[in-house]
Homo-oligomer: A and B are copies of this chain.
């Protein structure tokens, strides 16, 4: 297991963690803090301009651990599915332009008015299959991120690593360079099948994210914790992930409307780094 205690080079800051910042502020903030990698969401990249964003990031010497996020495949009709595919191709273009090591995909939930979960699962599979050739052409690996089951209805109907591994089995070319997984401890920590599915994933793990599960959790989406403030045994999960062969960056991604998003982002960065070195 890697020793993070004196090493900041494996830390990547997800832009959702410092929500108030623009891409420019994120880049400058990380450089100031000696942090060398970021994981930007599409909103701040698009707001800066995609080409300019790539230049800014390269000029600062930062690595882009992954690009967040695309996917959201199920739709009520063909027009909706075409629109989703078009948007996913734009996300591939953007990921390539900023040099992201992978593009994170979340499945999407049930189309409005639908209760057909199995149908949504099929739409996700078909959507990834349709996107894959374009992602391969552009050299952007796709990382399927299973989200916590509490998001099955409205955000992502792929909620376990077993399901995501199945999709990789069905659709990937076997190299793990076209299609793999994003493992976020927050979404998968509860799963009794976690050790087996991480071992099964092996080199499919393209990116690893951390935050913490707070008790109590006051909001389904926006009450995630700083690593160390909750109940997730992050050290054990990282041991599994690295045991499976993962040697990449560790993204801190925290949605926290009432706490971390209200604090001074540079201070948030300082605490992320401290926790990265002590509890992750």
A residues with CB within 8 A of B:
110, 114-117, 121, 148-150, 152-154, 157, 159-160, 162-163, 189-193, 213, 215-217, 220, 230-233
Contact = CB atoms under 8 A, between A and B. Distances in A.
Contact of A215 (B116, B153, B232): B153
Contact of A115 (B114, B157, B231): B231
16 contacts: A110-B231, A114-B231, A115-B231, A115-B232, A121-B192, A149-B150, A149-B191, A150-B217, A150-B220, A152-B190, A153-B215, A157-B190, A160-B191, A162-B192, A162-B193, A216-B220
Contacts of A189: 117, 152
Q: Which are the 9 A-B pairs with shortest beta-carbon distances?
A: A152-B190, A115-B233, A149-B190, A150-B150, A153-B231, A149-B149, A153-B215, A154-B215, A163-B192
A144 B62 CA distance: 50
Contact of A148 (B116, B150, B160): B150
A114 B150 CA distance: 23
A146 to B, nearest CB: 10
Given A160-B192, A190-B159, A153 B117 contact: no
A190 B117 contact: yes
B213 A153 contact: yes
